[in-house]
Amino acid sequence: MKKLLPFALMGSLSLTAFGQGVVIFKNYISDTVDARITETVTSGTPTLVDGSDPLFRAALLGGPAGGTAATTTSAGSLQMLSSPDGTATYVGFRTGVAAGIVNVGSESPRLVPGVDWGGQAMVQVVAWYGNATTYGDALAAGDPVGVSNPITATLPSAPTDPNVANLVGLTAFNIGATSTVPEPSTFALAGLGAAALLILRPRIRSSKNSCVRHRPS
């Protein structure tokens, strides 16, 4: 009997960690949530984000109801939520017919700190393009970003409550233009090339005139 206690304790801890404050980080659940994310590469019709490019990233923000939502210019007061084991924060996207859907795999549950059982949480999906690992860093770097509408979710009422909060009411959004911006070195090379052409231009003209004057009659 004593041998079973550690396993029973582990199961209890797992249930508690998995239940308290859990929100399911999925922006597509058939007949429940459809908020697939698009991106604008250049001017034109936005297309669904293709996860084959790992620089497209998304995260779930959350905190007590009444917090300040993130915008495309401010990170707000909500925190980036991690999975119960603390290993997953930002995620990538799926590909093919599932493009536009965040690629959370089995790590979809997210814990909302500071919210009691049965409490109200404010949650929001954000996404960006670049090497940043947080939404705030993406803003600071000037990366293309996008944010969803903030929604209020009711969390489970007790550790034994099997219900979790889905992102019902989430709407689709777009990540701003992600066209490649030339590196500073590219601009420098372009400038040197233009300067070289200006220097050589008079010489080229002189050479042509010289050839005309010495042409046999």
Q: Quick one: 29 and 101 in the same domain?
A: yes
pLDDT for 27 beyond 80 = yes
Supply the pLDDT for residue 170. 97
Say yes or no: 189 and 166 in one domain.
no
Q: Is the pLDDT of residue 103 over 60?
A: yes
The whole-model pTM stands at 0.73
**Domain match, 200 and 141 both:** no
**23 and 125 inside one domain:** yes
- 165: pLDDT confidence band, cut at 50, 70 and 90? confident
Looking at residue 55, what is its pLDDT?
96
Which domain does 9 fall in, by range? 4-175
Give residue 74's pLDDT.
Answer: 97
Same domain membership, residue 207 and residue 170: no
Q: Are residues 80 and 29 in the same domain?
A: yes
Instruction: Please tell me whether residues 121 and 197 are part of one structural domain.
Output: no
- Asked if 93 and 50 count as a contact pair (C-beta separation under 8 A), the reply is yes
pLDDT in tens, 3-16: 433 333 233 334 44
26 and 128 inside one domain: yes
- Give me the pLDDT at residue 193, please: 46
- Identify the pLDDT of residue 139: 97
Residue 171 φ/ψ, nearest 5 degrees: -115, 155
Are both 202 and 110 inside the same structural domain?
Answer: no
Instruction: Examine the domain organization and report whether 9 and 86 are in the same domain.
Output: yes
Mean pLDDT value of segment 98-106: 95
- Is the confidence at residue 216, as pLDDT, over 80? no
How many domains is the chain built from? 2
Residue 19's CB: how many other CB atoms inside 10 A? 22
- Give pairs for 73-78: CB < 8 Å, separation 24+: 73/139, 74/139, 75/135, 75/136, 75/139, 76/124, 78/122, 78/123, 78/124, 78/150
* pLDDT(67) > 80: yes
Could you tell me if 124 and 149 lie in one domain?
Answer: yes
Q: Are 187 and 143 in contact (CB under 8 A)?
A: no
Q: Where is pLDDT greater, at 212 or 28?
A: 28
Residue 186 sits in the same domain as residue 154: no
Note the pLDDT of residue 20: 55
116 by DSSP, 3-state: which?
coil
